[in-house]
């Protein structure tokens, strides 16, 4: 099976690694050069540096022969545009998209795109009693309105989070902090911390270190605050 993945963040890499392990051919489209460098080192995939909303890069990825097209970025609009182009311009039968805002799920499904909500996606990726328990608590409180955040803590050397700076910007590294001292909103959960090759299911005694990649769940109104806390700005 040939799979094209849009987005080379932690979720995109997780899917790519899983599919390659299962013997499938994978191409990743990623627009941020810094991520592209690490992807080339870490994964046996074809990598295209570019914007998946541009037909030119979809052509390079040979989307016309893709069995499945998967959009995994943190922006619903970008995911929607890429999936629509894959279906309308290249005739892809199956398009799957990460949907960060649950209120957008219906829009994707009406357009024939398989929408994977943040809560379902994260629970499938990370099967632990801690994560599932807190997911149930969050979705019960907010009727399923949960936002998924994918955040990299600055290391003081390079720009990790493309949303927070231009390529080449150097962001100051916060000190190592204990999760229990972060002051996160009650309606938020750190689902996983990725530190090098290590995956940590965080508890109060765990720490956040510069360079950590974090998957967090919170309500939409708290996502900016949670992001600021984790990157050391609040």
pLDDT digits (tens, 9 = 90+) for 189-201: 887 888 876 778 7
Confidence (pLDDT) at 98: 86
Beta bridge mates, 149? 216
State both tokens at 174. Answer: 């916060």
Sorted by sequence, the CB contacts under 8 Å of residue 211 that are 6+ apart come out as 152, 153, 155, 160, 173, 195
Average pLDDT, the chain: 79
Confidence (pLDDT) at 71: 93
Does residue 234 or residue 9 have the better pLDDT?
9
* Residue 146 confidence class, pLDDT cut points 50, 70, 90: low
143-146 CB contacts, 8 Å cutoff, 24+ apart: 144/102, 144/117, 144/119, 145/102, 145/103, 145/219, 145/220, 146/102, 146/117, 146/118, 146/119, 146/217, 146/218, 146/219
User: 123 φ, ψ to 5°?
Assistant: -70, -30
pLDDT digits (tens, 9 = 90+) for 73-115: 888 999 999 999 999 999 999 898 888 777 888 899 899 998 8
Domains and CATH numbers, the chain: 2-117 (3.40.50.720), 126-230 (3.30.70.1450)
Query: pTM, whole model, 2 decimals?
Result: 0.60
Report whether pLDDT(133) > 50. no
Do 197 and 171 form a contact (C-beta atoms < 8 A)?
no
**What whole-number distance in Å separates Cα of residue 66 and Cα of residue 90?**
9
């Amino acid at each position: 099976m040939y799979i094209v993945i849009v987005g080379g963040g932690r979720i995109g890499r997780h899917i790519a690694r899983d599919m390659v392990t299962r013997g499938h051919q994978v191409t990743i489209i990623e627009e941020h050069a810094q991520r592209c460098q690490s992807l080339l080192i870490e994964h046996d995939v074809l990598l295209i540096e570019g914007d998946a909303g541009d037909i030119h890069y979809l052509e390079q990825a040979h989307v016309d022969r893709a069995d499945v097209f998967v959009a995994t970025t943190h922006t619903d609009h970008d995911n929607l545009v890429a999936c629509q182009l894959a279906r309308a311009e290249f005739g892809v039968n199956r398009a799957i998209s990460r949907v960060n805002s649950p209120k957008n799920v219906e829009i994707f499904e009406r357009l024939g795109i398989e929408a994977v909500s943040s809560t379902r996606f994260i629970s499938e990726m990370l099967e632990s009693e801690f994560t599932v328990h807190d997911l149930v608590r969050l979705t019960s409180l907010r009727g399923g309105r949960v936002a998924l955040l994918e955040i990299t803590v600055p290391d003081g050397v390079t720009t990790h989070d493309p949303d927070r700076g231009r390529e080449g910007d150097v962001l100051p590294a916060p000190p190592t902090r204990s999760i229990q001292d972060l002051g996160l909103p009650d309606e938020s959960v750190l689902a996983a911390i990725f530190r090098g090759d290590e995956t940590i299911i965080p508890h109060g005694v765990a720490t956040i270190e510069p360079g950590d990649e974090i998957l967090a769940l919170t309500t939409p109104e708290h996502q900016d605050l949670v992001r600021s806390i984790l990157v050391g700005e609040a």
